[in-house]
Chain A
Amino acid sequence: MDWNSTPAEQAEPSMGRRSPLPLSSTIPASPNTVWVDATPLLQAACTDLLDGELIHGENFNLFAAMSALEIMDPKMDSGMICKYYSVDEAIEDGVGPVPISFDRTTDVQCTLDIMDHLLACEATWHKGHSLAQTVFSCIYLLRPERTVPSPILHSYCKIIRATCKAIVSVVSDARTHEEEDLFTMAYGLPLDGDGDEKSLSLLNAVEENLCRQLRACKAQSSRRKQDMEPLQSDIDMEEGYCKALLCRLRFRKHFFHVLACMRRPQGKGLELARKHIASSMSELECIRKSADFLISIASGGCSIGIEDRTTASGRQPIGFDASLNSRVSAPAPPRSIKMLSWNKAIEYFEKLLRDLDFICSYSLDPSLEVLLRFVTQFQSSRPDLVARSHLQLLLVQEGRLYGRDPMFAVITRAAGLPETTKNHDIQRYESVMQLGQLVINMLKIVCTNTAWQRRKLGKSLQDWRVIYVQLELAFTNKFGEVLATSNDENGVARVVKQILIWLEEQAYWIAFRFLMLGFELELYSPSEFFMVYWYLYAVLVKLAEKTDSRMEITEITAKRKGKKRKDSSKDVGRETRIPPAVRFLQCQIHLVEGLTLLQAALRNEMAALHSLTPFNSEQEIFLQHFELLQKACIPEQITYHSFKESTSYARFSNIATPNCFQQAQKLAKELRSSFSNDHDRLAELRRLEQVAEHNSVAMNVICQLGAVEPNSLKVSFEFIHHPCYATAVVRRA
């Protein structure tokens, strides 16, 4: 088909009457065909058709036809022409004038509004909308060269484009934004600028000029320099306007530096990034404060509610039209967007900066265990996509941890092997290399959003299981019975054995995280808690066992090498031989055991808790929740029947002795001294202690009263003290 791009005669949009062939000269069908008006024929056919009858060919499928985009439906037709046919037409109509106003005060006010609205657009974009409908709904951004005559606006637009480009780059590189995929689409948008240095130097020049203007207006009137042209015409407002502009420009400068520093390889720029983060935060505070000044001088009242406004002044900004770009946002249906308010946008950036600061505070500890605890803590503040992407790119660079440590070294260290093992030959074996890849995948997964993370973690369990089997098989075959003896001096056997122990521990950690994330995502209904706690019990027991094995064998290895043990207090007594990390798990085991028994007893003794739904049997629910764990045999020999067996005996008469909650409480208290330097674990211990304490009391009440008058009680399980371990709340029925 020939496409003729020369201007053609444009037909007037016809109002229902048959139009003469307007495009036949511009869209010839092909050399030997013409366009023939089919309207009368179609009309006649429509009259003759029976109700509900369709004219269609053999390839027609009604179900598939339902997915057709309906033209002129605003939810589906992204090309619907609202007002302007194109950006250029809008510009010609005066939508984004340059300069904005010939009155300099108005010009400055409008520039501030544009800056504020762009901040709101940017935050909206980060939250998961398309770039084209948010930030690039600004005409000034769409035609970069137009803003040159207005230096402040021009430099601001430039830095915005550069910042957006940097963020698109980070998120794209992390490649884990599956569910937020509108984020990186930037087709047809002018993201490629002249380069970062130019943006920054322009910004610096403008900033310097503003500083001079600010100084000039603050100086005594007699000493006021005559040759310094003020920013705008209203002398009394000059200081306020200068400051308002300065803090906005400075915020952009520091924020851009944050992004640049954090991208430096191997975390080399983290310290400098923290300084820029601090500066950005203080500039944001200034921006917020400037609102009072801007609202007070805003001419023309605020058309929108003060809370919904997207600018500090409350005025609508000039030069924005989201519909102009709707065709570029995606061929798929455009989403309707509610732009974040200005206040919410500032809050978003403050949170983003806090999350980035948390990342920058990390010491790049070579221990995988420390790293995973750090990431878990990071995730508990529900960071957004941009922060998470930065963390992921920091952790895994070019197949190495922090771009620095090869995966095999990470594994051997995690397995407690001596430092020299990292050069061992077995790293070249295929299954060991695959294990390294699995660890990389795990690191990437734990940096993603909770829902995606849980799904992927669950699915990865089978891979871990397979690798374990492969590794075991590979080295058993090679060395026959060597693996069976633990005292052999053969380096390979020892190394493999320790790696295998660590591998199991890691798999159980993943299973544990998988189950816990289910609470955060509210995937379990209250009637299902007790089977989850039961499964958690099984997993935690195994996790503690494997962790203990790994630590024990590490000690033995260290002892053999004659190195001093790090914690000499472990010498005293058998009890303290169990490492604190394992006892930490034991505390949770007691807690979970108590919860399982309590809920089992309630179900067994009080029919009220049996919420039998007509949809699924209990066994089906069990299989649905734990399918991925069952498939990977983590733990082994755990079935629905073993679950039923172990919980069927629970009664009010037998669950309170021994009191699992009291045991948990006692352990939590004792462990405080072991983790005195670890704020995160201390906080967790406090939470566990509270859950244990309250549940202990509740259990006693329930067991005493329940034995006598079971129906006088109403028990519910609520997450008062801990996001995953529920507290029993007892009320009189």
Chain B
Amino acid sequence: MEMEPETLVTSSGGQDGSHSERPSEPSSSSTVARVKKLLFRQVLVGIKDGRFFMGTFHCMDKQGNIILQDAVEYRSTRRNSPSPMEQRCLGLILIPFSCRTSCHVECPIEEQMSLMTIQE
């Protein structure tokens, strides 16, 4: 399900970051375009009650609600101490912004450096 993403940013870095493609959607923002490039990647989202969901990034709206495809739920069997994780498959899920505590995207190692530069 994962598409090989194009390089997220050019090596020149910088605040606004230049792109080779022109987005055709209404907002011509570069951040939106960059997030668009994250679509179909594996994403790991943490929830307030301690669970994690990993799935394919499918959709996001202005409020920050995220839809994941083929999501898998991970939970620990103990709240406070180290313990084995349980997992189960859920399919298509919507994670409201209000309960999201973290969101990590899967990146090739080389890209990580560039991405971190942009985010500063």
Query: Hey, which bits of chain A sit against chain B, CB under 8 A?
Result: 3, 5-11, 13-19, 21-24, 26-27, 29-30, 32-57, 60, 64-65, 67-72, 79-81, 84-86, 88-89, 327, 331
Q: B92–A67 contact, CB under 8 A? A: yes
Determine which of B29, B40, B84, B99 lies in contact with A5 in the assembled complex, contact meaning CB atoms within 8 Å.
B84
Q: B47–A32 contact, CB under 8 A? A: no
Q: B101–A85 contact, CB under 8 A? A: no
Given contacts A52-B62, A327-B88, contact A42 B103 (CB under 8 A): yes
Query: With the chains together, A43 CA to B66 CA distance in Å?
Result: 12
Q: Which residues of A have CB within 8 Å of B43?
A: 38
Q: Which residues of B have CB within 8 Å of A50?
A: 26-27, 62
Q: A53–B108 contact, CB under 8 A? A: no
Q: Which residue of B lies closest to A26 (CB)?
A: B85
Determine which of B54, B76, B83 lies in contact with A27 in the assembled complex, contact meaning CB atoms within 8 Å.
B54
Given contacts A48-B32, A327-B88, contact A19 B102 (CB under 8 A): yes
Q: A10–B99 contact, CB under 8 A? A: no
Query: With the chains together, A40 CA to B120 CA distance in Å?
Result: 9
Given contacts A85-B50, A88-B77, contact A53 B26 (CB under 8 A): yes
Determine which of A14, A27, A41, A43 lies in contact with B74 in the assembled complex, contact meaning CB atoms within 8 Å.
A27
Q: Which residues of B have CB within 8 Å of A65?
A: 58-59, 67, 92, 94
Query: With the chains together, A89 CA to B79 CA distance in Å?
Result: 8
Q: B46–A14 contact, CB under 8 A? A: yes
Q: Which residue of A lies closest to B52 (CB)?
A: A23
Query: With the chains together, A52 CA to B27 CA distance in Å?
Result: 11
Q: Which residues of A have CB within 8 Å of B53?
A: 71
Query: With the chains together, A89 CA to B77 CA distance in Å?
Result: 7
- B31 lies within 8 A of chain A by Cβ: yes
Q: B104–A35 contact, CB under 8 A? A: yes
Q: Which residues of B have CB within 8 Å of A84?
A: 79
Q: Which residues of A have CB within 8 Å of B99?
A: 71-72
- B21 lies within 8 A of chain A by Cβ: no
| 27 residue pairs from A and B, CB less than 8 Å apart | A7-B84, A10-B80, A15-B101, A16-B101, A19-B46, A27-B52, A29-B42, A34-B107, A35-B106, A35-B107, A37-B104, A41-B35, A41-B119, A46-B64, A47-B31, A50-B62, A51-B62, A53-B27, A56-B58, A69-B94, A72-B47, A79-B51, A79-B73, A81-B75, A85-B78, A89-B79, A331-B90
Query: With the chains together, A15 CA to B50 CA distance in Å?
Result: 10
Q: B82–A86 contact, CB under 8 A? A: no
Query: With the chains together, A41 CA to B103 CA distance in Å?
Result: 10
Within 8 A of A (CB), among B18-75: 25-27, 29, 31-32, 34-36, 38-40, 42-44, 46-54, 58-64, 67, 73-75
Query: With the chains together, A140 CA to B116 CA distance in Å?
Result: 51
Q: Choose among A13, A49, A52 the residue with the greatest number of B CB atoms under 10 Å from its CB.
A: A49
Q: Which residues of A have CB within 8 Å of B52?
A: 23, 27
Q: A57–B40 contact, CB under 8 A? A: yes
Closest A-B pairs by Cβ, 7 of them? A48-B29, A7-B82, A35-B104, A86-B77, A45-B35, A29-B106, A68-B94
| A613 → B minimal CB distance (Å) | 40
Q: B44–A27 contact, CB under 8 A? A: yes
| B85 → A minimal CB distance (Å) | 6
Given contacts A51-B62, A68-B93, contact A23 B44 (CB under 8 A): yes
Q: Which residues of B have CB within 8 Å of A71?
A: 47, 53, 93-96, 99
Q: A85–B27 contact, CB under 8 A? A: no
Q: A70–B94 contact, CB under 8 A? A: yes
Q: Which residue of A lies closest to B53 (CB)?
A: A71
Q: Choose among B36, B60, B91, B118 the residue with the greatest number of A CB atoms under 10 Å from its CB.
A: B60
Q: Which residues of A have CB within 8 Å of B31?
A: 41, 44-45, 47-48
Given contacts A32-B108, A49-B62, contact A9 B32 (CB under 8 A): no
Query: With the chains together, A496 CA to B93 CA distance in Å?
Result: 60
Q: Which residues of A have CB within 8 Å of B47?
A: 71-72
Query: With the chains together, A685 CA to B106 CA distance in Å?
Result: 76
Given contacts A23-B44, A69-B93, contact A49 B51 (CB under 8 A): no
| B71 → A minimal CB distance (Å) | 8
Query: With the chains together, A38 CA to B35 CA distance in Å?
Result: 9
Query: With the chains together, A52 CA to B90 CA distance in Å?
Result: 26
Q: A38–B38 contact, CB under 8 A? A: yes
Q: Which residues of A have CB within 8 Å of B115?
A: 36, 41
Q: B104–A38 contact, CB under 8 A? A: yes
Query: With the chains together, A39 CA to B51 CA distance in Å?
Result: 17
Q: Which residue of B lies closest to A83 (CB)?
A: B79
- B81 lies within 8 A of chain A by Cβ: yes
Q: Which residues of B have CB within 8 Å of A55?
A: 32, 35-36, 39, 59-61
Q: Which residues of A have CB within 8 Å of B79?
A: 84-85, 89
| B109 → A minimal CB distance (Å) | 6
Q: A72–B48 contact, CB under 8 A? A: yes
Q: Which residue of B lies closest to A60 (CB)?
A: B59
Q: Which residues of A have CB within 8 Å of B73?
A: 79
Q: Which residues of B have CB within 8 Å of A68?
A: 67, 92-94
Q: Which residue of A lies closest to B111 (CB)?
A: A36
Query: With the chains together, A84 CA to B96 CA distance in Å?
Result: 22
| A66 → B minimal CB distance (Å) | 9
Q: Which residues of B have CB within 8 Å of A14?
A: 46, 101-102
Q: Choose among B86, B95, B102 the residue with the greatest number of A CB atoms under 10 Å from its CB.
A: B102
Given contacts A10-B82, A55-B32, contact A35 B44 (CB under 8 A): yes
Q: Choose among B78, B95, B115, B118 the residue with the greatest number of A CB atoms under 10 Å from its CB.
A: B78
Determine which of A22, A81, A88 lies in contact with B49 in the assembled complex, contact meaning CB atoms within 8 Å.
A81
Query: With the chains together, A6 CA to B84 CA distance in Å?
Result: 6
Q: Which residues of A have CB within 8 Å of B75?
A: 79, 81, 85
| A140 → B minimal CB distance (Å) | 19
Q: Which residue of A lies closest to B68 (CB)?
A: A68
- B10 lies within 8 A of chain A by Cβ: no
Q: Which residues of A have CB within 8 Å of B116?
A: 36
Known: A7-B84, A29-B44, A44-B31. 18 other contacts (CB 8 A): A7-B82, A10-B76, A10-B78, A17-B101, A22-B46, A35-B107, A36-B107, A41-B34, A43-B64, A45-B31, A53-B25, A53-B61, A54-B60, A70-B94, A72-B48, A85-B50, A85-B76, A86-B86
Determine which of A10, A37, A49, A331 lies in contact with B32 in the assembled complex, contact meaning CB atoms within 8 Å.
A49
Query: With the chains together, A9 CA to B93 CA distance in Å?
Result: 26
| B47 → A minimal CB distance (Å) | 6
Query: With the chains together, A365 CA to B70 CA distance in Å?
Result: 55
Q: Choose among B50, B61, B67, B104 the residue with the greatest number of A CB atoms under 10 Å from its CB.
A: B104
Q: Which residues of B have CB within 8 Å of A30?
A: 106
Q: B82–A8 contact, CB under 8 A? A: yes
Q: A13–B62 contact, CB under 8 A? A: no
Query: With the chains together, A71 CA to B54 CA distance in Å?
Result: 13
Q: Choose among A5, A6, A86 the residue with the greatest number of B CB atoms under 10 Å from its CB.
A: A86
Given contacts A45-B60, A71-B93, A79-B88, contact A21 B27 (CB under 8 A): no
